[in-house]
Amino acid sequence: MRKPFVAGNWKMHGSKAMIGSLISALRAGAEQIKGVDVAVCPPSLYIQFAGDMLLESQIKVGAQNVASVAGQGALTGEVSVDMVQDLGCQYVIVGHSERRSIFDETDEVVAAKVGVVLEAGLTPILCVGETLEQREAGVTQDVVAGQIGVVLQKLGVSAFNNIVIAYEPVWAIGTGKVATPEQAQSVHAFIRSLIANEDSKIASNLIIQYGGSVKPENAAILFSQPDIDGGLIGGASLDAGDFLAICKAAGEACSE
């Protein structure tokens, strides 16, 4: 049985004051976190600060992005996986649609990032998903298969022992337009089948999060779908009450 995983993507939000009160509230409500793994992904500059505040809590820390090469080097403005690991991160979000569309990250760059994250012993949260135009053109499966296919080709199916996939329809991110449970389940099942074509055991253990306007009101129904194993949460992760309610819904839905 898969343990659900909920991660908060804080994007470019936060200050010491805001993060201080958010984490204090998360820690105060931590009894709601049962039967679910939880992480928060602050902006890189605040990883240390957030990590220190989360010491000895069950909430882990992740990064939102890393460079596609590891170690150190002449790459002004970049942050390497070794650096976020040094600060205590266990997860790295890779290939978020904002990175793909705004920062022109190709499937190849995303696959390289997944590779460096795995090599460092951290868990990539590999984001995939279609735009509205692609959904309307009926090519959702082709898009998702292509995004995952490059990683499969470059790293092999065994890499998926240590990868979390986040299915995030681009049209649902930050828009308030959530995929219906049926729409999400259908793509999640397709993603699992893609991996099962290569290795059924790896596929049945694979954590596939849903992301895109998850809120306390829609979390339970989404997480009760058989192939949805928690969520990647943007906006609602900035509100401790909402994020804890979503974590609680994941723990309850997946224990049924």
Cβ contact 71:82 at 8 Å:
yes
Choice from 84, 173, 187, 203 touching ligand PEP (CB under 6 A): 173
Choice from 89, 143, 233, 247 touching ligand PEP (CB under 6 A): 233
Dihedral sign of CA atoms 23, 252, 128, 211 in order: negative
- Which residue from 42, 47, 55 is spatially nearest to 87, judged by alpha carbons? 47
105 is a contact residue toward ligand PEP (CB under 6 A): no
Range in contact with ligand PEP (rule: CB under 6 A) among 57-65, 183-191, 201-209, 228-236: 228-236
Angle at 223 (CA atoms; ends 159, 178), nearest 5 degrees: 100
Distance, CA of 156 to CA of 171 (rounded, Å): 29
234 is a contact residue toward ligand PEP (CB under 6 A): yes
Size of the site for ligand PEP (CB under 6 A): 14
188 is catalytic: no
- Which residue from 106, 117, 132, 15 is spatially nearest to 64, judged by alpha carbons? 117
Helices (H) and strands (E) in the chain, counts: 11, 8
Nearer to ligand PEP, 41 or 194 (CB): 41
The number of residues making up the chain comes to 256
Binding mask 5-44 for ligand PEP (x = CB under 6 A): ----x-----------------------------------
256 is catalytic: no
Choice from 168, 227, 229, 252 touching ligand PEP (CB under 6 A): 168
214 is a contact residue toward ligand PEP (CB under 6 A): yes
Binding mask 118-137 for ligand PEP (x = CB under 6 A): --------------------
Provide CB contacts within 8 A for 47, sequence distance 6+.
Answer: 61, 63, 84, 87, 88, 89
Q: Which position's Cβ is nearest ligand PEP?
A: 234
Contacts to ligand PEP by CB under 6 A: 9, 96, 168, 173-174, 211-214, 232-236
Active site residues: 96, 168
